[in-house]
């Protein structure tokens, strides 16, 4: 019975696509892990900031929303786009403000959900935070 299992394993390893399939599976598992641990959290943070923007629009967005009610057809779509742009800018501002507050403490704490007392701190590049933020808003990641 052991010989049969070893023979089957050796046959699987000896196939043309073995390395390709193994690397593909490993990369997919890594992608899923990164998505689960980091990308989803970034997207959730952005989603929360976007909801905050919609619930409490800036004066400019409020003015555009009021003007939109008097527009028709294609002009309404232009107002919608302008409102979306303002909300995106406001979303970035909200998140950058939060990041700045954290960085003013000279550290960013674990994203694992640990309490502040249990977290080990590490420095985070503002450029990295901004890049991830923009990629997520633009729906690239």
Q: Check: CB of residue 95 under 8 Å from CB of residue 45.
A: yes
Per-residue pLDDT reduced to its tens digit, 21-73: 888 999 999 989 988 888 888 888 888 888 988 899 999 999 999 999 999 88
Q: Which two tokens stand for residue 6?
A: 């070893």
Q: Does residue 113 belong to any structural domain of this protein?
A: no
Q: Does residue 59 belong to any structural domain of this protein?
A: yes
State residue 39's pLDDT score: 83
Predicted model pTM: 0.55
Q: Does residue 54 belong to any structural domain of this protein?
A: yes
State residue 123's pLDDT score: 54
Q: Does residue 111 belong to any structural domain of this protein?
A: no
Region 1-26 average pLDDT:
80
Range of the domain at 46: 38-103+124-141
Higher-confidence residue of 140 and 7: namely 7
Q: Does residue 16 belong to any structural domain of this protein?
A: no
Region 113-127 average pLDDT:
51
Per-residue pLDDT reduced to its tens digit, 86-110: 998 888 888 888 777 776 765 544 4
CA separation, residue 2 to residues 10, 18, 40, 78, 141 (Å): 12, 22, 44, 70, 46
User: What is the count of structural domains for the chain?
Assistant: 1
Q: Check: CB of residue 61 under 8 Å from CB of residue 87.
A: yes
State residue 115's pLDDT score: 46
Please tell me the total number of residues recorded for the chain in this structure.
141
Q: CB burial class (10 A; 0-12, 13-18, 19+) of residue 94?
A: middle
60-69, 81-90, 122-131 — which one is most confidently predicted on average? 60-69
């Amino acid at each position: 019975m052991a010989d049969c299992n070893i023979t089957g394993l050796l046959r699987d390893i000896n196939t043309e696509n073995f390395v390709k399939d193994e690397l593909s599976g490993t990369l997919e598992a890594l992608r899923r892990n990164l998505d689960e641990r980091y990308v989803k959290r970034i997207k959730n943070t952005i989603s929360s900031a976007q909801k905050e923007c919609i619930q409490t629009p800036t004066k400019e967005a409020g003015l555009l929303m009021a003007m939109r009610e008097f527009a028709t057809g294609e002009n309404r779509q232009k107002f919608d786009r302008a409102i979306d742009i303002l909300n995106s800018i406001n979303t970035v501002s909200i998140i950058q403000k939060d990041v700045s507050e954290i960085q003013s403490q000279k550290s960013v704490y674990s994203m694992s959900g640990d309490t502040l007392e249990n977290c080990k701190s590490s420095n985070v590049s503002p450029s990295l935070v901004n890049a991830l933020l923009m990629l997520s808003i633009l729906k690239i990641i």
